[in-house]
Amino acid sequence: MEFAELLGHIRAALPGAVLEEHPEAFSPWILVARAQLPALALLLRDDPALDFAQLMCLSGTHLPASASESDRLASIFHLFSPRHRHKLGVKVVLDSADPACPSVAGVWPTADWHEREAYDLLGIVYEGHPDLRRILCPDDWEGHPLRKDYVTPATYNGMPLD
Amino acid sequence: MNLPIERHEGGNIILTSAEWLVNEAIARSLWPLTFGLACCAIEMMAAGAGRFDIARFGSEVFRPSPRQADCMIVAGTVTMKMASRVKLLYEQMPEPKFVISMGSCSNCGGPYWQHGYHVLKGVDRIIPVDVYIPGCPPRPEALLEGMELLRDIIRGKRPRPDAAARTA
Amino acid sequence: MDVKTLLELLFGLLTVASAAWVAFSPKLLHAGFSLLFTFFGVAGLYVTLGADFLAVTQVLVYIGGILVLLLFGILLTTAMPTAELSVGPSRRGQGLALGALLLGLLLLAVFRAGWPLSFPPLPENTARGLGTGFMTTWILPFEVVSILLLGSMLGALHLARHAGGEK
Amino acid sequence: MQFAFGVVLVFLLMGLLIGIAAITFSSLLRPSKPTAQKLQVYECGELPTGTPWMQFNNRFYTVALVFLLFDVEVVFLFPWAVVFKSLGLFAFVEMFVFVGILALGLAYAWAKGDLDWVRSRRFLRPAAAVEKGQPA
Amino acid sequence: MTELMQTFWFWAPFSAVVIAIVVTVNALLSVYMERKVSAWMQDRLGPMENGPHGILQTVIDAVKLLLKEDIIARGIDRPLFKLAPYIVFGASFAIFAVTPFADGHPAADLNVGIFFALAISAFVVAGIMMAGWSSNNKWSLYGAMRSVAQAVSYEVPISLVVLAVVMVSGSMSMQEICVSQAGGFWNWHGLSLHHNPFLVLGFLIYFIASLAEVNRTPFDLPEAESELVGGYHTEYSGMRFALFFLSEYANMLAVGMLATVLFLGGWQPLHPALGFIPGPLWLFGKAYGFVLLQMWIRMTLPRLRVDQLMHVCWKVLVPAAMGVLVLGGLWELLIG
Amino acid sequence: MDNHELFIQGSRVPDRGPDGDLMTLNMGPQHPSTHGVLRLELLTDGEEVASIRPHIGYLHRCFEKHCEKLTPPQIVPYTDRMDYLASMNNNLGFAVACERMLGLQVPEKVEYLRVVVAELNRIASHLVAIGTCGLDLGALTPYFFCFRDREMILDFFEEICGARLLYNYIWVGGLSHDFPEGMDDKILRFCDYFEARIDNELNPLLSFNKIFIGRNAGIGVVSAEQAWAFGLSGPSLRGSGVAFDLRRDDPYSIYDRFQWKVCVGEGLVGQLGDSWDRYWVKVLEMKESLSIIRQALAARPKDGDVREAVPGRVKLPVGELYCRTETPRGELGYYIVSGGGNLPERVKVRAPAFSNLCIIDEISRGALISDVVAILGSLDIVLGEIDR
Amino acid sequence: MSLHFYLVVAALLFVLGLVCMITRRNAVALLMGVELILNSANLNFVAFSRFTEARALDGQATAIFVIILAACEAAVAMAIVLNLYRQQRGIDVDAARELQG
């Protein structure tokens, strides 16, 4: 299915879930409401017309504060349907003061580690994740390194960092 | 260097003449710890394989347990998460023991020097290093040369790197 | 004192000392491994008694088999091999007293009884003698033993299977 | 015979002696610098958690058990084997019965699955086609 | 002179020292051989730099191990940890006492020689268990348990096959077993298809089981580096480790010698016409051939898994060995 | 207690404590068969594994942080160091992503040469995977043979770009160097030599060795659904019988011009999707790579400058892109967000081994420790790209 | 050496085995005590047959039968101990009284 068709299908099944659409992007994506994400994820995976069996990638990004907005975090899910050969990016934008995003680890098991990574590096808290711990950094690491405002600490457990 | 006979320092000791034998034995039989960290470990494996054949120098006996190893080849980037383990493994090796720092990353952090918030900038910050092999990654020949240098150090022909710079 | 006497004494000492360690060691594991030396000492005594086949059998079965079984048993049953081993001090005292009493009685019997001593020559080849014996004199026990072995094998396997607890 | 066993004993002692000599000699030469971390038990660079005194598979016991009984059987058969030639058919039949009865035990253990090392493996399905070999 | 030779006080220490030298040299030689053979099979050179063609490499390794620190970690059961290498080494050394090196020259001609050789491995088993158990290390314990289970399991087919040989030879003395195979290679138990073909099968069973008995590939599970790090000697360092190492190679030679004595005529020459070559040369030649075969297999095969190991033993080798015993006996009775 | 000990304890994952009869066993970070610094926390019952908790990050080298501080041409050498066994493929993936964003058309010759080096590197990478897979199961010699043949490929690379392992060869918009004179012939000769080696040496010695099959067949079975759900890709996905290869199904570069077959596991010796199938797919893929190399070398233009289209300054336009390519381990995705500046705002790497590894707990439950080693070997992980 | 020596060693073994059985509450240790006692008996058998007029091999043959019995006993007893352990998570023999039913 083309992007427009996908969008129509999703809108019909879950009205109000899609907040923005970006067909012009290199990888077209939609912005969805945080509360609707779990339902949308199930729809995307289980609807035979959509059939997004593969979560290709789950990334977090940090959008620094601009003139109009305070800084925000985004979690983006890149989906692919091996059967229909179509792709879709699904993005959720979160306020960095309340970085809670519903987990999709129950829908696509591969999201488990990717979510842990996004939590580790960016501090996005995936609610409902079975085991949300740091994955790359040590458990007692401070801060989330990929945030734009991250300052590398001088030492870690007595060892100089630079 | 008189590592194994340190306890007899100042004693009469036949060992002055035996020291040569002792040092030769240690130098010519360096069993490395099976321990690879990153890219350099692949070159370390290549050094063990057919073309470069570290076995020629008697070092093909990669011991998986530090208890039986003589030298630790820190081959790759040491991260903050790994550093304590590297240190523990080093500590668990029996004396006399040696460390070869293979590659820029373990020498000084290498390409991760500037922005690598999670990278230890040089393994010599946690364990004393005897030989530094430059390169990213060093070629297997460089590792063989590094082991040759280590042999010279053991034989006392070449000083160990400045003791003050080594954190023990 | 000739060598043989010396060896006998040494083996006897080894046997008794290690057996004492089996009985009194605070660690079950040490007791288990101490048994190794007891069995070995007894095997040595068998040799001094001219029972070569029996001595090797002792090593093969006791050390190679029963000891391994016991050690596996310790491993399989005890999460902490250093766990409390002894009974309370009162029962321990009673046991020791009983042991001492019994030892006294036995020693009395050993030295007071008039054993009809003699010293028959050693057979040329004990294994050959035993083989012939098993096929002639002891033919019945020989076959019965096989049934016994079968029975204990079946029983032990059955029990072990229950202990394994099909999960 | 006791002469021969004496030689064996000397061998055993010699073995011990070599070991002790080597380690004593080595203790004169070797350095000894224990540190707290050196004395940590090795577990792949981690600090070990819990004791190694773990629960082992009952299978180990089963193996030791079957072994013990076979071992005992062997003990009986060795003297038999020595005299086998002189005793002839009768001895053979005796042995046959003896081994046969034990073979029954083995067959029982086999049939009951006591000889299969692992029984509760949900993921290991029978690798049926191992015999297929190389495709043309 | 001959009288002196026959006194215990001369003969026992003399032969023990000779064998001690042989065992040590054998270990050094076998390790060197293994390194060279593996290098040759893997398109490498192997040790080259230390001594001509690296011949001194293993000697140097041994000296180095002598100089290594001996670590006894916290939580280790010290007495058992220290005792274990002695027991393992002493036992693997004692096997050589009963091996006949030439006509009339075993160190100790036991009536029950081969039976003794089987039994003595019980000490090795106990020693390994001691080592693994006292180490307070999970890998060691795994290694020891595997090793013990494997050793006791494969002891069964070995015993049964040895029994068949004893049955045919009519003696447990290793010297007499050798003598019974006199007259050329066609009379050797392992090759004599016309005397008793079942013994040839027995030879095969013995060979496979002996690989397991000495923990060689494909049965090297107890020391599988990629699984269990170092197996039961993970915590051992320096000379104590070297003792395990030494006894391992001594065991390799020992099973080679046993195989030679049982199935390849021991010190008997290939052909009676070759009798001018001394017996020990024949014995060691054949035994080293056997060791070489073990190395070849090590370089060729991966290792089995523990369930496959037990499967091979109990469901293949033990029934086969029983068959060899029964059918071999029948053959001996009717045809032999 | 010194600093260091505090440090160890601070960074330790809290113990779960004894779980009934189960014992916690650490496999790694220093263990001969974890292929680097992976730590598997095994919960074992005897030798049986009840569950596995993988701990990664021991090689976390902050790649994504570096991407935010460097320009795309500067990032390329860092991509080398992610999957250090297949640097060419990593270079290629990043170059393709940037070129898509830039809308850059690279010269024909460059495309062909890229395919040649990428496929050569695929073979080199698979050789290491196959060799270590055998090594983990105790087969020593195949490992040496694999490394011997791999050295030949490394020689080509050295001749082409001067490096043995980390090449920085495929640049955004081009290549760093042209092939030297006579390289094509050498590579073709290698193809003939190596094809015979697979058939006559590797397969009899390892692939169809009965013990090797016995160790791998029926172990670590992954169904096709599981494979998709856990995000498996590359040989691990195809081992489960899914004919999905990005070179064919989501084409990039010029892969659509070649005739080749997507190799899948068929359950030849055990069950579909077991360790052996994952292994076998790699063997088959090496042959297909040889075929692609031959075609590419035959069709490649001889003339042209490989740096012709290399932009003087790479300035990615505003927008975001998820671009994926097929490395030896599977789907390597780059998610690039650009704000139009010199530096990308965010680069996230979807590393194939990262996703492949996360299934290990699922397929290892109830296995023996020896099986875990076999499964790990067949999953073919590289910690460099898992931890990045 | 004389018969007495062996008899004394055997007596000591016997007593130690008995003490081991009485003073230990661990079932495996109990078995070890039993093995000591059986060994002591065997030693007596062999010693008597060596030093008295009885046929020299009788004692040895008996001893072999005893060893076989000991093996069977150990096998079954250990299996029982394993069962006991599984039921009670411990092998304290005093606590096993409930088996009396």
Pairwise CB contact (< 8 Å): F30 & D45 = yes
DSSP F66-127: HHHHS-HHHHHHHHHTTSTT-HHHHHHHHHHHHHHHHTPPPPHHHHHHHHHHHHHHHHHHHH
| Residue of higher predicted confidence among D46 and F341 | F341
Q: Is pLDDT of D71 > 50?
A: yes
- Residue that has been written with the tokens 């003939």 in this structure: F192
Q: Which of E44, E224, E226 sits opposite F144 (nearest CB)?
A: E44
Compute the distance between CA of residue E155 and CA of residue G84 in angstroms, rounded to an integer: 30
Q: Is pLDDT of E219 > 70?
A: yes
Average pLDDT over residues A21-35: 86
Compute the distance between CA of residue A93 and CA of residue D37 in angstroms, rounded to an integer: 47
D120 touches E at CB < 8 Å: no
Q: Please indicate, yes or no, if residue E43 is contained in any of the structural domains.
A: no
Beta strands in A64-154, from DSSP E residues, in sequence order: 72-80, 87-95, 100-102, 125-127
Q: Is pLDDT of G25 > 80?
A: no
pLDDT for the residue F3:
38
Beta carbons of B160 and B2 less than 8 angstroms apart: no
Q: For residue E253, give both structure tokens.
A: 């030679």
pLDDT for the residue F18:
38
Strand F39-45 versus strand F48-55 pairing type: antiparallel
Mean pLDDT over each residue of chain G, to the nearest integer: 80
Q: Which residue of D has its CA nearest to F21?
A: D55
Interface D-F, measured as beta-carbon pairs within 8 A, has a size of 96
Compute the distance between CA of residue D64 and CA of residue D51 in angstroms, rounded to an integer: 24
Residues 9-28 of C with CB under 8 A from E: 27
User: In chain C, what residues touch E116 (CB-CB under 8 Å)?
Assistant: 56, 59
A113 touches B at CB < 8 Å: no
Q: Which of G64, G68, G75 sits opposite D65 (nearest CB)?
A: G75
CA E51 → CA E29, E47, E60, F307, distances in Å?
13, 9, 10, 52
Compute the distance between CA of residue F303 and CA of residue C8 in angstroms, rounded to an integer: 95
At E269, give phi and psi (nearest 5°). Answer: -70, 160
F16 touches A at CB < 8 Å: no
At F41, give phi and psi (nearest 5°). Answer: -95, 105
Expressed as residue numbers, the domain containing E253 is: 67-334
Average pLDDT over residues A5-25: 83
List of domains in chain C: 1-88 (1.20.120.1200)
Q: Which residue of F has its CA nearest to B168?
A: F4
Q: Is pLDDT of E154 > 70?
A: yes
F257 touches D at CB < 8 Å: no
pLDDT band at D120 (very low <50, low <70, confident <90, very high): very low
* Residues facing residue A18 across a β-bridge: A32
| Residue of higher predicted confidence among E307 and F201 | F201
Q: For residue C162, give both structure tokens.
A: 């229950």
Closest-CA residue to F55 (of F42, F69, F72, F71): F42
Q: Which residue of E has its CA nearest to C54?
A: E112
Optimal mutation site among F1, F61, F63, F145, interface B, most CBs of chain B within 10 A: F61
B32 — alpha (psi -120 to 50), left (phi > 0) or beta?
beta
Q: Please indicate, yes or no, if residue E172 is contained in any of the structural domains.
A: yes
Compute the distance between CA of residue E164 and CA of residue E148 in angstroms, rounded to an integer: 25
Q: Is pLDDT of C24 > 70?
A: yes
As to burial, measured by CB atoms within 10 angstroms (0-12 exposed, 13-18 middle, 19+ buried), residue E336 is: middle
Pairwise CB contact (< 8 Å): A152 & B117 = yes
Q: Which residue of E has its CA nearest to B35?
A: E229
pLDDT digits (tens, 9 = 90+) for E56-103: 888 888 888 888 888 888 878 888 888 899 888 888 888 888 888 777
pLDDT band at E179 (very low <50, low <70, confident <90, very high): confident
User: In chain B, what residues touch E235 (CB-CB under 8 Å)?
Assistant: 65, 67
Q: For residue C137, give both structure tokens.
A: 């004199």
pLDDT digits (tens, 9 = 90+) for B111-135: 888 888 888 888 888 888 889 998 8
User: In chain F, what residues touch A157 (CB-CB under 8 Å)?
Assistant: 3, 6-7, 10-11
At C84 the three-state DSSP class reads: coil
- Residue that has been written with the tokens 């032969």 in this structure: E15
pLDDT for the residue B5:
45
Q: Is pLDDT of A146 > 70?
A: yes
If one counts every other C-beta atom within 10 angstroms of the C-beta of residue B159, the result is: 10
Closest-CA residue to G20 (of G42, G7, G37): G37
pLDDT for the residue B7:
46
Compute the distance between CA of residue E228 and CA of residue E216 in angstroms, rounded to an integer: 15
User: In chain E, what residues touch C72 (CB-CB under 8 Å)?
Assistant: 148
Amino acid at F52: I
DSSP G69: H
Pairwise CB contact (< 8 Å): F57 & A112 = no
pLDDT for the residue D131:
32
Q: Which residue of G has its CA nearest to C126?
A: G57
Pairwise CB contact (< 8 Å): D22 & E239 = yes
Mean pLDDT over each residue of chain A, to the nearest integer: 85
Q: Please indicate, yes or no, if residue E322 is contained in any of the structural domains.
A: yes
Task: For domain A3-160, give the fold.
Answer: Beta Polymerase; domain 2 (3.30.460)
- Residue that has been written with the tokens 């023999």 in this structure: G93
Pairwise CB contact (< 8 Å): D130 & F25 = no
Positions in chain F whose pLDDT score sits under 50: 1-19
pLDDT digits (tens, 9 = 90+) for D79-109: 888 888 787 787 788 888 888 888 888 888 8
Q: Please indicate, yes or no, if residue E85 is contained in any of the structural domains.
A: yes
Mean pLDDT over each residue of chain E, to the nearest integer: 83
pLDDT digits (tens, 9 = 90+) for B45-81: 888 888 888 888 888 888 888 888 889 999 888 888 8
D41 touches F at CB < 8 Å: no
pLDDT band at B167 (very low <50, low <70, confident <90, very high): very low
C-alpha distance from F144 to closest chain A C-alpha (Å): 33
Beta carbons of F306 and F178 less than 8 angstroms apart: yes
Burial G2-27 (b: 16+ CB within 10 A, else e): ebebbbbbbbbbbbbbbbbbbbbbbb
All CATH 1.10.645.10 domain ranges of chain F, comma separated, are: 63-386
**Helix (H) or strand (E) run with residue D82 in it:** helix D59-87
| Residue of higher predicted confidence among G70 and D30 | G70
Arch. (CATH architecture) of F63-386: Orthogonal Bundle (1.10)
Q: Is pLDDT of C167 > 70?
A: no
Closest-CA residue to B62 (of B76, B78, B51, B75): B75
Q: Please indicate, yes or no, if residue E252 is contained in any of the structural domains.
A: yes
Q: Is pLDDT of C14 > 70?
A: yes
Q: Please indicate, yes or no, if residue E5 is contained in any of the structural domains.
A: no
Average pLDDT over residues E310-333: 86
pLDDT digits (tens, 9 = 90+) for F243-268: 888 888 888 888 888 888 888 888 88
Alpha carbon C36 to its chain centroid, in Å, reads 9
DSSP E71-134: ---TT--HHHHHHHHHHHHHHHHHGGGG-B-STT-BSS--TTHHHHHHHHHHHHHHHHHHHHHH
Pairwise CB contact (< 8 Å): C55 & D5 = yes
F78 touches B at CB < 8 Å: yes
Strand A87-95 versus strand A29-32 pairing type: parallel
Pairwise CB contact (< 8 Å): A160 & B126 = no
Mean pLDDT over each residue of chain B, to the nearest integer: 81
Average pLDDT over residues E32-61: 86
Compute the distance between CA of residue F356 and CA of residue F381 in angstroms, rounded to an integer: 8
Q: What percent of chain B has pLDDT over 70?
A: 86
Q: Is pLDDT of A130 > 60?
A: yes
Compute the distance between CA of residue E199 and CA of residue E206 in angstroms, rounded to an integer: 10
